Structure 1
Amino acid sequence: VSLYNNTDIRVCKLGIAIGFLIPPVLVPNVDDINELAQHISFMFYITAAVASLIFLLVVFVFQEKPEIPPSLAQVALRHMPTAQYSYLASISRLFRNKPFILLLISYGLNVGCFYAVSTLLNRMIIEHYPGEEVNAGRIGLTLVIAGVVGSLLCGIWLDKTKSYKETTLSVYLLSFVGMVIYAFTLNLGHLWVVFLTSGLLGFFMTGYLPLGFEFAVELTYPESEGTSSGLLNCSAQIFGIAFTIIQGKIINHFSTLAGNIFLCVFLLIGSIMTALIKSDLRRQKANSQPQTEGIAVSMF
């Protein structure tokens, strides 16, 4: 499951990277409204075709679950009676899990900040570097590609060390530092600095994504990974929408710097909340416990 989750994240970020790069090329900055509408329609037709292809792959190709369980903990879960599972009961148990609640909020703050930066990136770049629409897309591409590398390296590090809280907290703090550096260097007038700071920001903020998912699974085992991951995504979407709207209004009334400082404050709050999480690695305990002979044999 860990491999699937991390792979999903990297593929998702690759799609976002393409989304930063392609639209400025397909939809140039032209004054003719009719020509602009044609370019936008062409882009949407491409999006619809790709989405339709993915839909067909999901229906006819994707497996519901791997044939061989990826861990002893997953073997144990498969041997539990399905009749005992209740989605609402699982949600209720998760909301009584204090470490998970702290992670749920801190994850939403981090990823919500990333969504806000990604959404308003073009606007922030153009405000300080007029006429650089294409480079704004390239900066977004840099942010996401660096994030793909970050998620890969963070996932490898986590797999080797099993230091879930320590790694999650370290990357969270580095995300905060990266956001501070980005905020105070955006207006220096050098695009290469923006490329560099955006790459740094993307590396840690996107690198945090698989760490949050994996830490959540550890804190909530034996609850379904789909339930905990779904709640994390829901939290990220809620904070992402709120931060994007609020940061946009702050930029309108004050400045880009003020909007980015707004995000820095919440990243600092999220870092503090992450430090308060009690590291109860339930899945690791399940993997280390002796399994019954029948369960062990079923893995092979």
Structure 2
Amino acid sequence: MNADAKQPLLNSPITDADHVSSACSTPGYNTINAAGPQLCHSPPTYHTLSSSSNIQNPDDTEPEGKAEGETRVYRRRWYVLMVYSLLSATQGGVWNSWGPISATAEDAFGWTDATIALLSNWGPIAFLVSGIVFSWMMDVKGLRMSCVITGFLVAAGTGLRCITFNTPAVTWLTHVGHFLNGLGGPVAMAAPPILSAVWFPPKERTTATAIGTVLNYMGVALSFIMGPLLVPDVPSTNSTNTSSFHKSSDLSFSKHNSSMILGSKAENATERIHEEKNGIALYMYIGGGWSAAIFLVLLLYFPSKPPLPPCPSAAIPRENFVQGLKHLLTRGQFWLIAIVYGISTGTLSCWSSVLDVILKPHGIGEDEAGWIGFYATCSAALVSLIVARFADFFKRIMKWLVIMSYITGTASFVVFALATVKVIPSSSVLFYTTIIVGTTALNAAVPLIFELACELSYPTGEGTTNGVLTIMNNISGLIFLVVVMIPGIGEMWTNWTVVGTSGICIPLLFLMKEKYNRLEIDEHKPALNAEIIFPSPQA
């Protein structure tokens, strides 16, 4: 028996292979024999460089060993995707730790709404700091280094939050912890298309991207449940009536009795704050322990790529990082999809974070608004997986699926905005329906947009491409949050901003020319001695 076949499952290049074929060279996999990509204005074309080259016929695949030009799909790809998805979900959940328990945190630590807002804002702020660095790292150094460093940042950030729960130290440590967690945002948001390109065959690529993407959403959704479950809420007392009662009956009590009442109140407040801090501490300890466990798993085993590529396009070297950035600047079609993703999803995610403020004038409280957000996130995750699987079965329709999603989402938010200004009758059912449908439709398109961007920009690396996309998303979100912080601006404008930023994307999507540069290569399966000529960046 071949020695490779005797190796453990996670180390063997053969025993966990689902499918083996021999149709391409494998640059980057110790069998490099690739000419540098040339550019033209047409779809990728292939020319034989030499008739004397030793090309292996797909039908002559060796039964054992690594045949030159071999591609292979490994079962361990699901392990890699699962571990990454848990990392992404953890990073997203940590980012949203304080929003669902904001009232308790303010009571326990003396924080204000501005403190809670800044803790959330560290996410996009830190993203802009580390975005380019991690984009380069994912393309040049690979997934392992990028994910291990991200796992360390998340674990360190959650660990800092566990050191003390006494003010003012807890405030500073929490801010630093959230900044560290935010630094890992580029990998948590942008890595799914890279992982799917490196590990998965074309028929599973969009599905894998969707799984990695929606798990980040689910981490955020889970924080809406875990926080309130572990942390006691601030007691809802009618402080105004209580205060009036004591004022009106003040003459009937002696100074001694008044002192006893005040002392009892102070004792109750101290006990309440102690319980709140204990609940928050438990929440932080669980988050810190879980983050440390994910980091340990990444450290022990998380390979950057399989021994052999899953498809021809995975075997072809990408452009170097600087050259890839230069080419992206000239790819007009890529910038159409980048603008669509950036302004629509960046605005929507920040709009969702102030949903309780938007719905409060319409009789929907903070808890109910949180559940609406939770249901919308879960719905978006489920629909994303269904749509992505559909896109894997029926190729070359991603653009039209995205257009349908944006038309549906925009229409839902138009109805919602009209209901908030009483143009049409409003009700809780209407608010639930329009928010959930609108959020689901727009977020379900995200994996498709990631894959479309990779196809349009290929052979620019997936890390570079999606790094730029997610940076634009965070810039859009920051602008939205800055405007929200303007005193007295109100909240009605936010609803029409969501309508406008999603609606303007529809004509942009119609203008986009759908191209599948990467899929062309996988379908053509160029031979070992093929020279591949890619479309011009301007195309």
Q: Give the structure 1 partner of residue 327 of structure 2.
A: 93
The AA in structure 1 aligned to 2:305 is K
1:149 aligned onto 2:401: no
Contact 2:351-2:494 at 8 Å conserved across structures? no
1:268 aligned onto 2:503: yes
Bigger proportion of residues as strand: 2
The AA in structure 1 aligned to 2:466 is S
1:292 to 510, 516, 527: 527
Cα displacement (A) at 1:210:
0.3
- Which of the two has higher C-alpha Rg? 2
Cα displacement (A) at 1:54:
2.1
Whole-Å separation in 1 of the counterparts to 2:483 and 2:230: 29
CA deviation vs aligned residue, 1:8-32 (integer Å, no higher than 9, x gap):
1121121121022222333444165
Contact 2:312-2:525 at 8 Å conserved across structures? no
1:25 aligned onto 2:260: no
Contact 1:24-1:134 at 8 Å conserved across structures? no
Cα displacement (A) at 1:97:
0.8
1:47 aligned onto 2:287: yes
Cα displacement (A) at 1:141:
0.9
Q: Give the structure 2 partner of residue 124 of structure 1.
A: 358
Q: Give the structure 2 partner of residue 217 of structure 1.
A: 454
Q: Give the structure 1 partner of residue 314 of structure 2.
A: 74
Contact 1:25-1:134 at 8 Å conserved across structures? no
CA shift in 2, pair 1:275/1:126, >3 Å: same
Whole-Å separation in 2 of the counterparts to 1:41 and 1:186: 39
Whole-Å separation in 2 of the counterparts to 1:271 and 1:147: 19
Whole-Å separation in 1 of the counterparts to 2:426 and 2:230: 27
TM-score (norm 1): 0.84
CA shift in 2, pair 1:53/1:185, >3 Å: farther
CA deviation vs aligned residue, 1:157-211 (integer Å, no higher than 9, x gap):
2222221222222212222222223333458664333332222122212101101
CA shift in 2, pair 1:70/1:229, >3 Å: farther
Whole-Å separation in 1 of the counterparts to 2:231 and 2:427: 25
The AA in structure 1 aligned to 2:333 is P
Q: Give unmatched runs, 5+ long, in structure 1.
A: 296-300
Whole-Å separation in 2 of the counterparts to 1:253 and 1:147: 30
Q: Give the structure 2 partner of residue 253 of structure 1.
A: 489
Contact 1:72-1:287 at 8 Å conserved across structures? yes
TM-score (norm 2): 0.49
Contact 2:350-2:481 at 8 Å conserved across structures? yes
1:237 aligned onto 2:237: no
Whole-Å separation in 2 of the counterparts to 1:249 and 1:127: 19
Whole-Å separation in 2 of the counterparts to 1:197 and 1:220: 34
Q: Give the structure 2 partner of residue 5 of structure 1.
A: 209
CA deviation vs aligned residue, 1:72-102 (integer Å, no higher than 9, x gap):
3223x1xx4x8xx421221111121111111
Q: Give the structure 2 partner of residue 16 of structure 1.
A: 220
Cα displacement (A) at 1:118:
2.3
Alignment of 1:151-190 (within 5 A): 151-161=384-394, 162-185=396-419, 190=427
What SS class does the counterpart of residue 336 from structure 2 fall into? helix
Whole-Å separation in 2 of the counterparts to 1:151 and 1:66: 26
- Between 144-153 and 277-286, the greater mean CA deviation after superposition: 277-286
Q: Give the structure 1 partner of residue 367 of structure 2.
A: 134
CA shift in 2, pair 1:46/1:88, >3 Å: same
- Between 165-174 and 87-96, the greater mean CA deviation after superposition: 165-174
CA shift in 2, pair 1:49/1:183, >3 Å: farther
Whole-Å separation in 1 of the counterparts to 2:287 and 2:357: 23
Bigger proportion of residues as helix: 1
The AA in structure 2 aligned to 1:92 is K
CA shift in 2, pair 1:19/1:248, >3 Å: farther
- Between 33-42 and 260-269, the greater mean CA deviation after superposition: 33-42
Cα displacement (A) at 1:226:
1.7
What SS class does the counterpart of residue 324 from structure 2 fall into? helix
What SS class does the counterpart of residue 284 from structure 2 fall into? helix
Whole-Å separation in 1 of the counterparts to 2:419 and 2:213: 28
CA shift in 2, pair 1:22/1:248, >3 Å: farther
Q: Give unmatched runs, 5+ long, in structure 2.
A: 1-195, 197-204, 236-268, 531-539
Q: Give the structure 2 partner of residue 298 of structure 1.
A: none
1:207 aligned onto 2:444: yes
CA deviation vs aligned residue, 1:199-239 (integer Å, no higher than 9, x gap):
21222121011011010011011221122112111111111
What's the Cα RMSD here? 2.6
